[in-house]
Amino acid sequence: MNSQRVTRMLCAVGLAFLTSLTFAGVSMARECKSDPIVAEGEPALSRDLGAYQNSLFAWRRAVADKAGSEFNSWRYADARAVDCKQVSTPKGERWVCKRTAIPCKDTLSTVLSGDKLAKYTCKNDPVSSYGRREATEAKAIEQAKWAWRIDVRKTYDATWAKWDSATGTDHDCRKLGAKYQCVSVGTPCKGK
């Protein structure tokens, strides 16, 4: 009789746990816009180190203008696509990339930006940096953040070079051959 009670109790606890997970998933559902936003970056000599990055900035600006800055994180967007091609310009052949994606709200950074506005002083312009190519996407993201910290130190000083204090952070990775390369972007901030 005791084993039946224990079994029923474990079943009830398991059912309660599954129910809580279901409700948590519903309450944490991402908020996305219904239509994709398309943006084309400025022409550049290099597809990988110029045009690709330019299209990220163009897409983020277009989304911020149309949907608000809480939606302009590329890594949280749905149905992401990047199309790059060579075009003729008055300055010669250049690369242009066009990004298309459905913007989704980055809830975590929205919450943190409110705190950051009260507790931090931020620069006006974001800084972007490419990291070196790595075997995994996670390592490539860390390399891009490391490069961002170096670039911020060069532009400002070490007190601004903390990724966790930056606002409007985003990164975008792509596979080049067998390795990944990422670009990180964020506006440097430091405590008041």
pLDDT tens per residue across all 192 residues of the chain:
555 655 555 444 444 444 444 433 433 567 899 999 999 999 999 998 889 989 999 999 999 999 988 898 898 899 999 999 999 999 999 999 999 999 998 765 555 555 555 788 889 989 999 999 999 999 999 999 999 999 999 999 999 999 988 888 899 999 989 999 999 999 999 987
Q: Let me know: does 74 contact 141? Beta carbons within 8 Å.
A: no
pTM check: above 0.95 = no
Dihedral sign (CA 66, 68, 54, 101): negative
Using only the alpha carbons of the chain, give its radius of gyration. Answer: 21
**Domains of the chain, residue spans:** 30-105, 107-192
Q: Let me know: does 156 contact 116? Beta carbons within 8 Å.
A: no
**Coil, strand or helix: which one is 86?**
strand
**Coil, strand or helix: which one is 57?**
helix
Neighbours of 39 (CB within 10 A): 21
